Amino acid sequence: MTAPLIAGNWKMNGLGKDLAEARAVADSLAETPARARVAICPPATLLARMAEALAGSAVALGGQDCHAEPSGAFTGDISAEMLADAGARLVIVGHSERRAGHGETDAMVAAKASAATRAGLEPIVCVGETRAQRDAGQALEVICRQVAGSIPAGMAEGSFALAYEPIWAIGAGSTPTSDEIVAAHAALREALVECAGSAGRTAPILYGGSVKPDNAAEILKLAEVGGALVGGASLRAADFLAIIRA
């Protein structure tokens, strides 16, 4: 059984002074190693400084998005190669905030995931349904369709992770029920195997959406939950460490 992956998504939060939080996580893990793999995905402006701060530690660095092309006339964008060059080992692609706020389609997400692989990064591909889709009974159909469209063909075993983030649970302070999480992750596993074969059988499926110190243990023990993608609670070392220890 592979170690679960606990990844912190800082979103558009974090200034130089907040590097101390990442350092505190690394220091704690150096003292008492965790069973989980741990990553922090800071804003791009902090990547290089955080790479220095975390050098030699058990905390891997990740980006929050990447462009599909390796370089070129794409003002404001950052390529997977640039993330790798800055010290990143992972990258989140297809987060619902990118899909909704930047019009990213499944095909664009798949191209970004391919770019990540090309650059030697581990993509964390995100899927998740809206409240309206869940209320209409379409949640499983929606997320499985997103998997089919967002996971590139030919992914190698151990090269990527999937994150199930119901949009209505992000930043909401409430999560789906355990039964709902188990049902979603079971459906996602089937969809992954269908589109990625043996690589889909072993890819960790993270849960994301209001993961906190007080609910992490319960969520992480559920069937097919291979880790967590943590937003708000990853910004403070004490909270993030409590989730890692769970």
d(CA 65, CA 218): 29
Touching ligand 13P, residues 76-95 (CB under 6 A):
95
Task: Select which of 95, 97, 122, 129 is catalytic.
Answer: 95
Of 104 and 165, the one with the shorter C-beta distance to ligand 13P is 165
Of 210, 220, 226, 239, the residue at the interface with ligand 13P (CB under 6 A) is 210
Two structure tokens written together for 114: 């391919």
Touching ligand 13P, residues 156-175 (CB under 6 A):
165, 170-171
Two structure tokens written together for 64: 């929050």
Q: Which residue is nearest to ligand 13P (CB)?
A: 231
Residue appearing with tokens 């910004």:
235
Tell me if 211 contacts ligand 13P by CB under 6 A: yes
Of 6, 9, 123, 143, the residue at the interface with ligand 13P (CB under 6 A) is 9
Two structure tokens written together for 2: 């592979």
Q: Which of 86, 98, 147, 157 is nearest to 122 (CA)?
A: 157
Least Cβ distance, residue 9 to ligand 13P (angstroms): 4
Tell me if 114 contacts ligand 13P by CB under 6 A: no
Q: Which stretch binds ligand 13P (CB under 6 A): 15-23, 78-86, 100-108, 206-214?
A: 206-214
3-state DSSP assignment of residue 61: strand
Q: Would you call 104 a catalytic residue per the annotation?
A: no
Q: Would you call 95 a catalytic residue per the annotation?
A: yes
Of 81 and 112, the one with the shorter C-beta distance to ligand 13P is 112
d(CA 36, CA 217): 13
**Contact at 8 Å (CB) between 229 and 186?**
no
d(CA 113, CA 195): 14
Tell me if 100 contacts ligand 13P by CB under 6 A: no
Least Cβ distance, residue 56 to ligand 13P (angstroms): 26
Of 204 and 209, the one with the shorter C-beta distance to ligand 13P is 209
Cα within 13 Å of Cα(4), Cβ side: 25
Task: Name the region of 88 (left: φ>0; alpha: ψ -120 to 50; beta: rest).
Answer: beta
User: Cβ of 135: how many Cβ atoms within 10 Å?
Assistant: 11
How many residues sit close enough to ligand 13P to count as binding (CB under 6 A)?
A: 14
Q: Which of 154, 148, 76, 60 is nearest to 114 (CA)?
A: 154
Residue appearing with tokens 């188990």:
182
Task: Select which of 21, 104, 165, 224 is catalytic.
Answer: 165
Least Cβ distance, residue 95 to ligand 13P (angstroms): 6
Residue numbers of the site for ligand 13P (CB under 6 A)?
9, 95, 165, 170-171, 208-211, 229-233
Task: Give catalytic residues, as residue numbers.
Answer: 95, 165
